[in-house]
Structure 1
């Protein structure tokens, strides 16, 4: 503590602890969003690959399936052999891609999402260690000033 007031040093430690906790909460939110995004990307990728294989192997026959209209309502659909796929990009934007480009785009997005998950997990581990160390330091400063 040196020449400084122990209460001021303790307050500085508590402020740092609050910043670390905010960082942790932000990282957990990002990690949750990415963990929810990965299965959606995998599903979309498998559907596109299935449509592509079916269109090539069956001589372009149509695929009959059901799709979700709302939580409790499904309807039948006929997917004709196609060379293009429409993808939602977000912000109410849909773009038409050739099947191979759509597959490449989704694979790239999946790769980036998985890499981001690994990076955030490493950062989260570091922040949690900092939180533990800061909590111990604040407790010691509090005990010193009492």
Structure 2
């Protein structure tokens, strides 16, 4: 049984491909001794796939939150940089220039509370970025853009990989569910035939 479930193929992340059982009788040479052990091995592999699927779905959910957040941050910084560039090219007097380079925006205080802020674009040369694990660092605008673009690229690559893994796991879960059902149904039919054979033998003895 160990040889049967030993992966002959894996996907690029090392997830094993499930074997497909065409004929149950080919793997159960001694059904009375091997059935329970074989069924348990199949069920264990199925649960392993489902556990990996759950983990991948959690990763997918996290990435679907992270990617829009990064894209939104890039949009904000790009808008700031555009306004700074526009301010440098503006020929209006200082008061008008100052007014044109102030951005009014809403920002989140907590999950349900927002407030308004005024940002002087001319004096804004850096931003603070959350790096995770309650760590925040200040970055110049250009460095922040570079960092966010790298993170966006990496997260999009991770999203592609997670989707591929989920599709692979879905196929192998289906294969193992089919294997388990075939194994169970085969054993039910085997026991039924044995019972019928025993009853037939018993009836013949009674008739004699």
TM surpasses 0.5: yes
**CA-to-aligned-CA distance 1:92-128 (integer Å, 9 cap, x gap):** 2111111111001111111111110110111111111
Match of residue 145, structure 1, among 175, 184, 187: 187
Match of residue 79, structure 1, among 116, 119, 127: 119
| Counterparts in 2 of 1:11 and 1:73: CA distance versus 1, 3 Å | closer
> In structure 2, how many angstroms separate the alpha carbons of the residues matched to 1:72 and 1:121?
32
Residue 5 of structure 1 and its aligned partner are, at CA, apart by 1.3
Q: Which has the higher strand share?
A: 1
| Counterparts in 2 of 1:24 and 1:72: CA distance versus 1, 3 Å | closer
Residue matched to 2:166: 124
Residue matched to 1:49: 78
Residue 63 of structure 1 and its aligned partner are, at CA, apart by 1.6
| Counterparts in 2 of 1:29 and 1:72: CA distance versus 1, 3 Å | closer
Instruction: Point out the structure with max Rg over C-alpha.
Output: 2
TM-score, normalization by structure 1: 0.92
* CA RMSD across the alignment: 1.5
> In structure 2, how many angstroms separate the alpha carbons of the residues matched to 1:21 and 1:62?
52
Q: Are 1:87 and 1:95, in contact at CA under 8 Å, matched by a contact in 2?
A: yes
- Tell me if 1:107 matches 2:149: yes
> In structure 1, how many angstroms separate the alpha carbons of the residues matched to 2:43 and 2:130?
44
TM-score, normalization by structure 2: 0.66
Match of residue 110, structure 2, among 55, 70, 74: 70
* Runs of 4 or more consecutive aligned structure 1 residues displaced over 3 Å after TM superposition: 70-73
> In structure 2, how many angstroms separate the alpha carbons of the residues matched to 1:120 and 1:24?
10
- In the alignment of these two chains, the number of paired residues is 146
> In structure 1, how many angstroms separate the alpha carbons of the residues matched to 2:37 and 2:135?
52
> In structure 2, how many angstroms separate the alpha carbons of the residues matched to 1:21 and 1:128?
9
**CA-to-aligned-CA distance 1:52-87 (integer Å, 9 cap, x gap):** 111121237222222222344332212122221111
- Tell me if 1:31 matches 2:60: yes
Q: Secondary structure at the match of 1:2?
A: coil
